Structure 1
């Protein structure tokens, strides 16, 4: 007699089998006034923040991770599972997440709605077009490009040098062929020819502004500050000079309201904005986080990739702008990923290898140190896999005990909130204790001082060096008085350094800054390192090859 092993359900199969509550019920349970809810179908809504009263007093729990690997860590899954676990413990909790970008959805990473039994729903709609926010951001960005080219075509009253326009068009897809393009060809009626290019929408400065703006007034002021290029005399030209910030804000007006959805277990979730963390600042909107802080006692949120990217920017940029301090930080790790940081190939991860695991724990140690450098105490969420051996588990637990770090075994993918109870209990211990949270650098420090602190205290490197191009850009930044802005590093997510191949915990490396781009509307300086691209390309086998739609209209192949 033969037996067959039942194949586990995929994420989308689990999502499709889940029973969702009407969004008005979710809103009522979250004590959101009915007149603040604008329904987008039965299971999604936008929330009119002007009708949400009260102070933003909830404690913020930030979820970050070790340096990501192809083995996967499950940061969004743990974020959602932790919120569900707190909900099971009868805490007034909301989860605040970023919106997925179609670039990674159709590329290699897939969606960003969690996994297994720790997901936000409706998974299919959130991962695709959701409530249209990204389309609004894309439209506003490209409307500005059209207005710039029209201004030049109609006489160029602002004396804009077409060779020095820094504003690019955007598209929310990975399309390497659009990185460098030429526009305006075809004769005088088609505009003025010039070189241009496309970024992915989530790298747009308007995306960053969207996520950092605190009101429509603030939105317009930030839009007006965007530098679109320079005159023939090398003076900066802004959106305010073009006098189109009002039109751009009008395009974004509806999108500025955060989106309300739910987890599989009915925990309310606000999902809003989605800047990449390896290019931009990697956090959901301040509007969503602060709205959740008015409605709940605990807000669980996440920042992209590891603590060296998303968490560093969350703590140095978002928390500074919003004026709050986190109460706890969760670092997601897996034994599989730690073994990869110890040199094990992905194909061999099912084999026990305690020596490689111990070597890979060095990466986790750096992320723990990063959190503590900000005056916060971390909790490690050890995301369990069936292939983890008892000896490997014992090694991680012993390391955590020796270094006095709280650690909790989690299994939210398989068990939902129940699998995150231990983690939730340890998080509750931490948020009840005072902390000494502080920003890593002062804004009045020089740009090179800020960069050096990030590289030395967060990446564990020796220092920074600027290319000649970056030095020239820095001179312009200092001349215009923009050097007091915070730093937004654009760096590979795969390594603590700027070299993707240096996994684990590299030391004595120097990070090369090849460009420094002022983003006055967002309010930070983007420092580009390595070969990081603001318009990614598709992999050899993109996820889109496995996607389809069934006869009943349901999606196939999303993950």
Structure 2
């Protein structure tokens, strides 16, 4: 089978104007970026008519789950059945593209294209976010340098700098060295762009004015008297917003089989809320009969945040949740060595299936229809498929849909598409994990016990101090965004499967007053990742004709 980039390069793309016309987007609402991608006007996105399907998965593993691939294949399968689906997905970050995880455009014959453009610089949204974020950082330091009228304490500045690259060397830095003309020396650091509050704000904003108001409400630090300082105090929200005036518009592309796809925004789910923009999802619901969106990492992270942070602002709850798993990932959760996953092992599969059960049951707690699908690999044996199908039926009471869209495209997910079409018309009674008026402590406790399967939440002394500050400032009713390892239900990435009676350790609580949530940092989660021993960048190349190889 050809590589992902080869399949993408051989795909016959339709002009983006044709894709737009197919779903009723007029030329005056389309801003082309070349032949095959475009920005779409913000008009008409509030008229939401379509059904909404949320795709999530088990905890990610080195074995792979193929959540984006499955989402794309499901969209193409729905098109095959005569439905009118539109995808809403996140944009890839260059950190994982050049690092370990790779891109975020699907794989095999279920990809959004042009794959190379989307995985690299696309329409420049991430660059705009990086520039806006660092412009604010520069304005803060400039204000201090020129007299510090607001009395900002350099030791209490909350706003770091960002880059869209995994660069561990920049986690902790010192800035302002070089004498009086080079600013005021202070300790600083860098996060990755997708961890920026501006990324969360872009994805949660409903229009340009909402974006500006949220930027104005960003907490940037404190005075020497420990009073909060916001962007509005610097009076630069207008300048920062104009840097994002194009980035806020959703991007339209297509799948290999020409299903329309909005790709917009990309916060990581382990350090942010992990969902594409509200505007992209609204556009997908407006222009399609069925909108397919995907939450980052497993259901314990991205899907929970979609349900509890995004849906109140979206004004729409999912009509169906699809939970994706692979047999080899479940065998890894069952204790099997990662180098032996192509070997049949029914015992490891049965033990690892507990991870899937918990994810499915967690999603069922929201009282929406749940569909389970197995993303099949050619190394999966008939005995393994038969066993897992039986286990799911016996333990969850649900049917299982086998998807082979990686190798077969939309035709490989027809059964799943039929199951989804049935599920979206079932009754639902959406119930969030926590209520808006719950305390911060109660919200964290309910997430840990109801979604993760844990027993306790333990706050560090620093987190307890921050909690008092949050309450004093009146932010104690905001939603909670848990920053946690994606690899485990616990805060320890090495603990796989479905552990119980564990404690989640909260090291700090961060106020994200512009985005409108509190970030709870757990375990040793990092907001600036590092590169692996063998970064994906080492396998990439480009020839004299501009042909790219090694991108995935």
Normalising by structure 2, we get a TM-score of: 0.99
Aligned match for 2:17, one of 14, 20, 24: 24
Aligned match for 2:344, one of 340, 352, 356: 352
Does 2:533 align with 1:537?
A: no
Aligned match for 1:332, one of 324, 334, 351: 324
Of 155-164 and 346-355, more deviation after overlay is shown by 346-355
Q: Note the C-alpha offset of 1:548.
A: 0.7
Counterparts of 1:143-154 in structure 2, within 5 Å, are 143-154=135-146
Q: Note the C-alpha offset of 1:53.
A: 6.4
Match of 2:474 in 1: 481
Match of 2:188 in 1: 196
Match of 1:5 in 2: none
Match of 2:40 in 1: 47
Q: SS at 2:243's partner residue?
A: helix
- State how many pairs are aligned: 551
Match of 1:445 in 2: 438
**Contact 2:46 2:282 (8 Å CA) reproduced:** no
Of 369-378 and 533-542, more deviation after overlay is shown by 369-378
Does 2:285 align with 1:293?
A: yes
Counterparts of 1:109-258 in structure 2, within 5 Å, are 109-258=101-250
Q: Note the C-alpha offset of 1:54.
A: 6.6
Does 2:64 align with 1:93?
A: no
Aligned match for 1:514, one of 503, 507, 517: 507
Match of 1:4 in 2: none
Distance 2:487 2:78 in 1: 31
Structure 1 residues 210-249: Cα deviation after superposition (integer angstroms, max 9, x where no partner): 0000011100110011000000011110001111000000
**Contact 1:99 1:126 (8 Å CA) reproduced:** yes
Does 2:265 align with 1:273?
A: yes
Distance 1:341 1:421 in 2: 28
Normalising by structure 1, we get a TM-score of: 0.98
Distance 1:406 1:370 in 2: 17
Match of 2:333 in 1: 341
Match of 1:527 in 2: 520
Q: Note the C-alpha offset of 1:423.
A: 0.4
Cα 1:452/1:390, change in 2 over 3 Å: same
Q: Note the C-alpha offset of 1:377.
A: 2.2
Distance 1:54 1:103 in 2: 33
Match of 1:37 in 2: 30
Match of 1:397 in 2: 389
Aligned match for 1:374, one of 339, 359, 366: 366
Aligned match for 2:415, one of 412, 422, 427: 422
Match of 2:459 in 1: 466
Q: Note the C-alpha offset of 1:406.
A: 2.9
Distance 2:214 2:547 in 1: 40
**Contact 1:164 1:231 (8 Å CA) reproduced:** yes
Q: Note the C-alpha offset of 1:350.
A: 1.4
Structure 1 residues 39-93: Cα deviation after superposition (integer angstroms, max 9, x where no partner): 100001000122x367112111000000111000100000000000001111111
Q: SS at 2:432's partner residue?
A: coil
Distance 2:400 2:54 in 1: 15
Q: SS at 1:49's partner residue?
A: coil
Structure 1 residues 182-216: Cα deviation after superposition (integer angstroms, max 9, x where no partner): 11111111111111100000000000000000011
Distance 1:422 1:309 in 2: 27
**Contact 1:378 1:406 (8 Å CA) reproduced:** no
Q: SS at 1:252's partner residue?
A: coil
Root-mean-square deviation (Å):
0.8
**Contact 2:69 2:406 (8 Å CA) reproduced:** yes
**Contact 1:496 1:505 (8 Å CA) reproduced:** yes
Does 2:267 align with 1:310?
A: no
Structure 1 residues 141-197: Cα deviation after superposition (integer angstroms, max 9, x where no partner): 000000000100111111000000010000000000001111111111111111110
Structure 1 residues 363-403: Cα deviation after superposition (integer angstroms, max 9, x where no partner): 00000111111112211110111111111111111112222
Q: SS at 1:284's partner residue?
A: coil
Distance 2:63 2:323 in 1: 16
Distance 2:246 2:72 in 1: 26
